[in-house]
Amino acid sequence: MSSTTVSGAKPGWKTVRFEVLEKTESLPSLSMVVSEFLALARREYFTAKDFETVISRDQALVARLLKVANSGLYGRSRSITSIPEAVVLIGVDNLKKIVYAVSSESLTKRRLDNYDYHPDQGFWLHSLGVGYATKVFVEASPGCPLHAEEGFVAGLLHDVGKLVIDEFLPVGQPRPITREEEIKAVGLDHAELAEYIMKLWNLPSSTSATVRFHHDYRNGGPMSAGAAALALAQEVCAAWNLGRTNAMDLSCEVPQKKYSELAEFLALDPTKWDQVIWDIRQSLVGLDDIFGED
């Protein structure tokens, strides 16, 4: 990016902001399959056949899916050669997990120079991990208006704005960059930019508004519960160092009392906290193995 205007004057943040928004056009979009999953999940009833039809629209995705499905991860004795077979042999839930992991790769499998994610797979793992944790918290929160799959997509994309902002920051040591620093550098923070990107991709406004307020859930209006679920997901994943430069440790305790403000805001049943955390851990196990299956 050029740091000066044609006249040689240092551009104001309005100019940089415009360049940032322009740059978002070059981000690889999520596979259409993700939006179609959201539409499918909102239907009262869908069959494995509907699921296959959606996946089959993206042949590059199908090829990667079959490769991962045939890896050692699922312990099959014979090879899987088609999506209908994969549905039967590894199940819709596992297949969906691979679809999300694979379809987010081109977007999130990147090294960020200024943010403190693990250089190899940190941002991808953080995005997926927060996606799964948000999904589980959304399901456990009685008043949350989001569908579970929408919670997943919001979590997956919550920090996508950092991918663009990173290129506009002066190169430095990876560290936690504050939202104030982002605004000072480019005129908007990563949450606002993520909302813009998600609107550009025609994702439901419920998901983009949730993401917009993930650092400010109390101001999220009708989406404040979704934003709180995302904020809580992020805190729990941070406690496990998911995607960070320090080693990931899923065994680290995450007692509810440490997160009582968010848990109370979401009206989570305290007796179900341990189960919810267990469900999140289960959804995260094996993610880094999928990553290795190139």
Min dist. Cβ of residue 257 to Fe ion (A): 23
Region near Fe ion per CB under 5 A, out of 7-15, 74-82, 117-125, 154-162: 154-162
122 vs 204, beta carbon nearer Fe ion: 122
Cβ atoms of residues 121 and 243 within 8 Å: yes
30 vs 130, beta carbon nearer Fe ion: 130
Region near Fe ion per CB under 5 A, out of 77-85, 90-98, 156-164, 217-225: 156-164
Name the closest residue to Fe ion (Cβ): 159
Considering only residues 159, 166, 189, 279, which one is a binding residue for Fe ion as defined by CB under 5 A? 159
Min dist. Cβ of residue 84 to Fe ion (A): 36
SS3 string of the chain? CCCCCCCCCCCCHHHHHHHHHHHHHHCCCCCHHHHHHHHHHCCCCCCHHHHHHHHCCCHHHHHHHHHHHCCHHHCCCCCCCCHHHHHHHHHHHHHHHHHHHHHCHHHHCCCCCCCCECCCCHHHHHHHHHHHHHHHHHHHCCCCCCCHHHHHHHHHHCCCHHHHHHHHCCCCCCCCCCHHHHHHHHCCCHHHHHHHHHHHCCCCHHHHHHHHCCCCHHHCHHHHHHHHHHHHHHHHHHHCCCCECCCCCCCCCCCHHHHHHHHHHCCCCHHHHHHHHHHHHHHHCCHHHHHHCC
Min dist. Cβ of residue 135 to Fe ion (A): 15
CA distance 26 to 106: 12
54 vs 228, beta carbon nearer Fe ion: 228
Min dist. Cβ of residue 124 to Fe ion (A): 12
Q: How many residues bind Fe ion, per CB under 5 A?
A: 2
- The secondary structure of residue 91, as a DSSP letter, is H
Min dist. Cβ of residue 189 to Fe ion (A): 8
64 vs 214, beta carbon nearer Fe ion: 214
CA distance 109 to 90: 25
Min dist. Cβ of residue 82 to Fe ion (A): 36
105 vs 159, beta carbon nearer Fe ion: 159
68 vs 233, beta carbon nearer Fe ion: 233
Min dist. Cβ of residue 191 to Fe ion (A): 6
Residue 189 makes contact with Fe ion by CB under 5 A = no
150 vs 159, beta carbon nearer Fe ion: 159
66 vs 248, beta carbon nearer Fe ion: 248
Ranges within 190-249 binding Fe ion (CB under 5 A): 234
Residues lying near Fe ion in the complex (CB under 5 A): 159, 234
